[in-house]
Amino acid sequence: MNIRGAQRGYTLVELLLGLAIAAIIVLPLADMLRTGADSARTVRSRFDLNAEANFAIEKIAARAAAATGAKAPDAATAPTEWLKRLGFEECTNTRELMEGASCSQADRNAIVAANVDKIDLSMPDTATPLLRIALTLSHPDVAEPVTRMRTVRVGAYP
C-alpha cells in the first residue's frame, strides 16, 4: 500500500492559499454591505422625519380647525402664543413638541415631534381666519432638514 495514497485532505499551504483567495473576494463585498447599511439607515431616518413632520402638522392643523374665537395674537409672540392656545408647547432645550404637557414634565406619551429645529405659526391678514404652520425637523443621519408647511382655516370644524 502506498503511504502517499492513504493520506487524504489538504496541506497547510493549500488551506492558507484558499483563505487568502477567499479574503480577497470577501473584503470588497463587506465594504459594499457596510455602505448599503449606511445608506439604508439614512433613508430610514429621512422617512421617519417625513412621517413625524406630517403627523405633527396634522395634529396642529386639526386643533386649529377645531379652534374657535380666532384672533391674531401679537406678532412677536405669535408662534408661542398660538402653540399654547392649541395645547402644544415647544421645548427648545430637548427639541421636542409636546401636546397637553409642559416641558418640565417627563411624560414621553405627550411628545408629538422630536428633533424640532423650528416651528412657525402665523396668521395672515385675510378676511377668513387662516393659520400658516411651518415645521422644520432635522436628524444627524439626514443631510438636509425636513420642512413641512400647511395653511388651515381656523374654526372650520365645530
Chain segment 113-157, per-residue pLDDT in tens: 888 999 888 887 777 788 889 999 999 888 899 999 999 888 776
What is the Cα–Cα distance from 150 to 57, expressed in whole angstroms?
7
pLDDT of residue 69: 61
If you search the block for the grid coordinates 392656545, which residue do you land on?
85
pLDDT classification of 108: cutoffs 50, 70, 90: confident
What is the Cα–Cα distance from 127 to 100, expressed in whole angstroms?
30
Q: How many CB atoms lie within 10 A of CB 115?
A: 21
**Residue spans per domain, the chain:** 12-153
Residue type, 69: G
Strand-pairing partners, residue 98, are: 89, 111
pLDDT of residue 66: 85
pLDDT classification of 99: cutoffs 50, 70, 90: confident
**Cell (9 digits) for 2:** 502506498
Report field, pTM of the whole predicted structure over 0.75:
no
H/E run at residue 132: strand 130-137
